[in-house]
Amino acid sequence: MKHTLKTALVLIIAIAFASFTTLKDKKVNVKDSTITWTGHKVTGQHDGTITLKEGTLAFNGNTLVDGAFVMDMTTINTTDLKGNSKTKLDGHLKDDDFFGVNKFPTATLDFTKVEGQGPNYTVTGDLTIKGVTKPITFNMNVVEGTATAAFKIDRTKYGIKYGSSSFFDDLQDKAIYNEFDINATLKF
């Protein structure tokens, strides 16, 4: 009986040790990764990019278990406009009534829960924009060194109320919808 108990204890310790040693962090290649955004308004939409400053994905074997990202909000860029219109909108997005990049140069996403076995995962994380942290849940697909995700963010939850018909009356065709789309392609 003592021998069986010792064997079982050794086996449990070996399994526990092995599970801790298989966790691997993989740095995201920020140069080859992309984050695009689309903001919608009554009269159309605008598209653009944000540069990923740094990021990691953690795996237990081949299973995604964690992740953390920093976006460089000073790089927010409009891609559907040119000239003075582009310069004006890019500047406005960086101003305090939108992302306030002088005071808040980065936004972060830290995974708090990952469900699934792959390649499809449901990720919950803490998203921080303009110093405000709110939970967000989205789907992520991980295949052969690439993770992709598409989700919506309600900007008003982060204090970005400019042009929102939820807070201002009589905006008519100047209203900007509260949610904007993020599409991320992460290479690691």
| pLDDT for the residue numbered 5 | 42
- Beta-carbon contacts of residue 83 (< 8 Å; ≥ 6 apart): none
Does the residue 11 lie in any domain?
no
Q: How confident is the model at residue 3 (pLDDT cuts 50, 70, 90)?
A: very low
pTM as predicted: 0.85
Does the residue 154 lie in any domain?
yes
Does the residue 5 lie in any domain?
no
Mean pLDDT of 71-89: 98
- Domain assignment of residue 94, given as a range: 24-187
Percent of the chain scored above 70 by pLDDT? 88
Q: How confident is the model at residue 174 (pLDDT cuts 50, 70, 90)?
A: confident
| pLDDT for the residue numbered 168 | 73
Mean pLDDT across the chain, nearest whole number? Answer: 90
Does the residue 1 lie in any domain?
no
With 70 as the cut, is the pLDDT of residue 58 above it? yes
| 123 or 173, greater pLDDT | 123
Does the residue 60 lie in any domain?
yes
Does the residue 4 lie in any domain?
no
Does the residue 49 lie in any domain?
yes
Pull the structure tokens for residue 183.
Answer: 């599409």
Q: How many domains does the chain have?
A: 1
| 168 or 167, greater pLDDT | 167
Integer Cα distance of 165 and 109 in angstroms: 27
Integer Cα distance of 61 and 64 in angstroms: 8
Helix/strand/coil (H/E/C) assignment for every residue in the chain: CHHHHHHHHHHHHHHHHHHHHCEEEEECCCCCCEEEEEEEECCEEEEEEEEEEEEEEEEECCEEEEEEEEEEEEEEEECCCCHHHHHHHHHHHHCCCCCCCCCCCEEEEEEEEEECCCCEEEEEEEEEECCEEEEEEEEEEEECCEEEEEEEEEHHHHCCCCCCCCCCCCCHHHCEEEEEEEEEEEEC
Q: How confident is the model at residue 11 (pLDDT cuts 50, 70, 90)?
A: very low
Does the residue 16 lie in any domain?
no
Domain with residue 56: its CATH number is: 2.40.128.110
Q: How confident is the model at residue 164 (pLDDT cuts 50, 70, 90)?
A: confident
Mean pLDDT of 71-78: 98
